[in-house]
């Protein structure tokens, strides 16, 4: 914290300098233009003999198909052609993106990063992209749109600002053009026009392209990888490309004053083709909720950010007479970037009329630029549309189920939201993607939608279960658990097999391949037997927090009996499972790990307690390394039950390291993240 503080202070001082406190007043000149004093020249390093910085460009890629695919391909090749020091990392989980990266050969400068947070429809989370880009080991990280074409002035700008001796954040708006009829040659170095001739399309694009669009994803962000964060506070989990996020970062960066923020739109020529005649895509319609989600986040987190997205007050980088300058249009101050030849602040030379006439001319152009027109309306706070996924349960199941028509079901209320997220992150890591979440209350529903989870509401659920004390033995617990069997039955009737897993069940490895080996008409459940030897199917030893039910007539009929039994019982649903399927007193037991319900002939198989241990078995939660102890006995899962109180349960899981979610950054924990302790207690 100490270093951060002193660095921030240094920047603060520098900002004071930049603001022109230590300026020579040049009397006959001051009303038009002010130049900073030479004594501060040392603040800016000499740029002339610089070696190029290493640059990594991060971009969220759409699948490489059709028009968008070829636009992306052209854009990425235009980046790679700029310098050997540029690497490209594409965020995606789509196979076509991997193929595209592979097409550059084994040691290419293009790679794919699938290991960030995505919604269940594959849209990446912006906060996760930014966090990943910040871990880059290159000198400069760039975050930009995957269809935007760059020209060599991009790399010359970065080379120049790389020598600034403080941390910076560059922004640059791209221009929209209606058409880009040029191709790159096979080496990716030269542009070819329609007639097969080499051409220089930059000028033409500059004259046709317009900065006056309102798409904030078309703003390039670049920063040097110093110690100073981009801004204060935590970036909300915005979805990429759905509005608001780039403006949010820029406004936060400006108001935090950690870094020197400047606008390089005038020195970086970048272009994208407007999607005016875009084909209708039903998937985009289904994703309307994603924009709604970002609006909700903006309303939830973005008080500062209601400021209109207008960068006209941001210091601008411009080039004049071949040299880079920063200009503050509001105060009419120009700062040279480095002491280039011929522009010295020591002598009278600077006042040679011809020289500063040119500079004034350049600066006048700068001042007229940068007012975003017509975007303020778009950025006004609209009344929030309700946050609803446009998916019925049927549609959600068909999107999510695996090839065996199986889904993994979690049922959760708001008080278990962090536990749910840790569970979800664990499933992501195991590449289990067929889960769905049933929301017990409105708060968890909204939370899940914003976290990009495939969620549905249980309409029959009691609406007031969202409080902390909903744990084993309470009334609340009974009502919650009875929801579960009802929802499972509903899904079975729709033709899908269900692996029901409480969110306090930690998964070491995917149990589905094992669970599917039990035949039809077999109901497979965890045993709650804590003893090390003896039968595992004694009365009331069936744990209804982890079971696999097939969508066959036998199972459905038997489950109906369980649900009916539970609805008449004043206990939780767990005893109803046992008493209905294994008989009160265990009278339907066949042997030490199976029962058979006599009316339906459904067989109940209790899972091996070493492979599927409950929370009391062998005191596994007390071992010094829970993970390695469990792995050694072959655990598929470990249930965090047999403990009372939500808080203690949470503590036990976090302290044992079986925790996969960072509540402070709202991201799954990942290997590329620097270790961050989870702060609960």
Contact pick of 6, 321, 330, 346 for ligand NAG (by CB under 6 A): 330
> Which region, judged by CB under 6 A, interacts with ligand NAG, from 149-157, 304-312, 442-450, 579-587?
579-587
Rounded to a whole number of angstroms, the CA Rg of the chain reads 30
b/e per residue 562-591 (b: at least 16 CB within 10 A):
bbebbeeeeebbbbbbbbbbbbeebebbee
Interacting residues with ligand NAG between 210 and 249 (CB under 6 A)? 210, 212-213
Q: Helix or strand or coil: residue 645?
A: coil
Q: 139 or 310, CB closer to ligand NAG? A: 310
Q: Helix 288-301 to helix 442-450 angle, to the nearest 10 degrees?
A: 110
Instruction: Determine how β-strand 637-639 pairs with β-strand 505-507.
Output: antiparallel
- Residue labelled with tokens 């759905």: 242
> Which region, judged by CB under 6 A, interacts with ligand NAG, from 155-163, 292-300, 621-629, 664-672?
621-629
State both tokens at 592.
Answer: 């030490």
> For the chain, how many residues are written?
681
Sign of the Cα torsion 53, 153, 76, 172 reads: positive
110-113: strand order across its sheet: 110-113, 86-91, 55-60, 140-143, 219-224, 168-173, 260-263, 315-320, 323-328, 333-336
Q: 277 or 279, CB closer to ligand NAG? A: 277
Q: 15 or 616, CB closer to ligand NAG? A: 15
Q: What is the DSSP string of 82-104?
A: T-TTEEEEEE---HHHHHHHHTT
Q: 213 or 670, CB closer to ligand NAG? A: 213
CA 157, CA 163: separation in Å to the nearest integer? Answer: 11
Contact pick of 143, 172, 230, 315 for ligand NAG (by CB under 6 A): 315
Q: 596 or 627, CB closer to ligand NAG? A: 627
- 312 binds ligand NAG, rule: CB under 6 A: no
Residue of closest CB approach to ligand NAG? 331
Contact pick of 38, 111, 627, 673 for ligand NAG (by CB under 6 A): 627
Q: Give which of 187, 178, 224, 320 is closest to 11, Cα–Cα.
A: 224
- 570 binds ligand NAG, rule: CB under 6 A: yes
State both tokens at 329.
Answer: 């249009």
CA 331, CA 319: separation in Å to the nearest integer? Answer: 19
Q: Minimum CB separation from ligand NAG for residue 155, in Å?
A: 25
In which element (H, E) is residue 515 found?
helix 512-515
Contact pick of 32, 46, 587, 664 for ligand NAG (by CB under 6 A): 587
Q: Minimum CB separation from ligand NAG for residue 334, in Å?
A: 11
- Residue labelled with tokens 């040119």: 358
Q: What DSSP designation does 14 have?
A: H
In DSSP terms, 546 is beta-bridged to: 501
State both tokens at 41.
Answer: 């020249």
- 565 binds ligand NAG, rule: CB under 6 A: no
CA 537, CA 577: separation in Å to the nearest integer? Answer: 12
Interacting residues with ligand NAG between 241 and 300 (CB under 6 A)? 274
> Which region, judged by CB under 6 A, interacts with ligand NAG, from 171-179, 220-228, 378-386, 607-615?
171-179
Q: 125 or 168, CB closer to ligand NAG? A: 168
Find out whether 409 and 460 touch, Cβ atoms under 8 Å: no
Q: Minimum CB separation from ligand NAG for residue 585, in Å?
A: 3
Q: Minimum CB separation from ligand NAG for residue 480, in Å?
A: 12
Interacting residues with ligand NAG between 467 and 526 (CB under 6 A)? 467, 512-513, 516
Q: Minimum CB separation from ligand NAG for residue 473, in Å?
A: 11
Q: Minimum CB separation from ligand NAG for residue 395, in Å?
A: 21
Contact pick of 32, 103, 135, 553 for ligand NAG (by CB under 6 A): 553
Q: 49 or 628, CB closer to ligand NAG? A: 628
Q: Minimum CB separation from ligand NAG for residue 400, in Å?
A: 13
> Which region, judged by CB under 6 A, interacts with ligand NAG, from 26-34, 205-213, 412-420, 573-581?
205-213
User: For binding to ligand NAG (CB under 6 A), which residues are involved?
Assistant: 18-19, 176-178, 210, 212-213, 274, 315, 328, 330-331, 402, 404, 462, 464, 467, 512-513, 516, 553, 570, 584-585, 587, 625, 627-628, 657
């Amino acid at each position: 914290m100490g270093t951060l503080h002193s660095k921030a202070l240094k920047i603060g001082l520098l900002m004071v300098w930049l603001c022109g406190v230590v300026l020579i007043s040049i009397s006959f000149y001051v009303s038009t233009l002010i130049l900073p004093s030479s004594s501060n020249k040392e603040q800016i390093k000499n740029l002339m003999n610089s070696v190029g910085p290493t640059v990594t460009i991060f971009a969220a890629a759409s699948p490489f198909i059709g028009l968008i695919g070829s636009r992306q391909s052209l854009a990425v090749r235009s980046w790679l052609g700029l310098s050997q020091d540029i690497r490209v990392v594409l965020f995606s989980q789509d196979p076509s993106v991997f193929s595209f990266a592979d097409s550059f050969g084994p040691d290419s400068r293009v790679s794919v990063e699938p290991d960030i947070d995505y919604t269940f429809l594959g849209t990446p989370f912006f906060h996760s992209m930014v966090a990943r880009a910040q871990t880059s080991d290159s000198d400069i990280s760039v975050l930009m749109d995957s269809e935007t074409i760059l020209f060599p002035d991009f790399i010359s700008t970065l080379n120049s600002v790389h020598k600034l001796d403080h941390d910076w954040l560059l922004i640059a708006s791209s221009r929209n053009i209606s058409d880009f009829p040029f191709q790159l040659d096979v080496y990716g170095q030269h542009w070819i026009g329609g007639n097969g001739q080499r051409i220089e399309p930059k000028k033409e694009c500059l004259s046709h392209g317009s900065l006056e669009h309102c798409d904030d994803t078309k703003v390039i962000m670049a920063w040097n990888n110093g110690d100073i964060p981009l801004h204060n506070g935590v970036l909300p989990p915005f979805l990429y490309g759905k509005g608001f996020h780039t403006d949010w970062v820029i406004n936060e960066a400006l108001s935090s004053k950690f870094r020197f923020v400047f606008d390089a739109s005038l020195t970086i020529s970048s272009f994208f083709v407007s999607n005016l005649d875009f084909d209708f895509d039903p998937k985009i319609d289904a994703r309307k909720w994603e924009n709604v989600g970002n609006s909700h986040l903006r309303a939830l987190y973005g008080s500062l950010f209601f400021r209109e997205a207008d960068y006209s007050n941001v210091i601008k980088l411009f080039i004049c007479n071949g040299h880079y300058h920063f200009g503050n249009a509001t105060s009419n101050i120009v700062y040279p970037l480095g002491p280039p030849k011929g522009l010295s602040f020591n002598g009278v030379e600077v006042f040679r009329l011809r020289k500063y006439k040119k500079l004034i001319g350049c600066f006048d152009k700068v001042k007229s630029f940068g007012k975003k027109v017509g975007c303020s309306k778009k950025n006004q706070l609209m009344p929030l549309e309700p946050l609803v996924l446009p998916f019925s349960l049927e549609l959600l199941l068909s999107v999510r189920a695996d090839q065996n028509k199986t889904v993994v079901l979690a049922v959760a209320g708001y008080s278990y939201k962090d536990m749910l997220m840790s569970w979800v992150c664990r499933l992501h890591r195991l590449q289990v993607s067929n889960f769905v979440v049933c929301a017990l209350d409105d708060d968890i529903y909204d939370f899940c939608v914003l976290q990009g989870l495939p969620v549905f509401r249980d309409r029959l659920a009691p609406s007031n279960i969202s409080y902390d004390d909903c744990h084993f033995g309470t009334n609340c617990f009974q009502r919650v658990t009875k929801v579960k069997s009802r929802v499972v039955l509903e899904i079975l009737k729709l033709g899908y097999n269900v692996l029901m897993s409480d969110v306090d069940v930690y998964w070491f490895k995917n149990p589905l391949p094992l669970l599917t080996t039990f035949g039809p008409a077999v109901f497979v459940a965890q045993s709650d037997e804590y003893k090390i030897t003896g039968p595992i199917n004694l009365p009331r030893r069936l744990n209804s927090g982890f079971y696999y039910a097939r969508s066959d007539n036998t199972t459905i009929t038997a489950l109906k009996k369980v649900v009916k039994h539970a609805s008449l019982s004043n206990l939780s649903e767990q005893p109803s499972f046992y008493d209905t399927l294994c008989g009160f007193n265990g009278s339907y037991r066949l042997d030490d790990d199976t029962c058979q319900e006599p009316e339906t002939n459904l067989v109940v198989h209790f899972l091996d307690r070493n492979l599927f241990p409950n929370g009391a078995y062998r005191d596994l939660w007390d071992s010094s390394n829970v993970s390695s102890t469990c792995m050694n006995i072959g655990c598929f899962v470990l249930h965090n039950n047999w403990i009372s109180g939500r808080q203690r349960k949470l503590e036990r899981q976090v302290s044992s390291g079986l925790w996969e979610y960072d509540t402070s950054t709202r991201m799954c924990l990942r290997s590329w993240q620097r270790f961050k302790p989870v702060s609960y207690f």
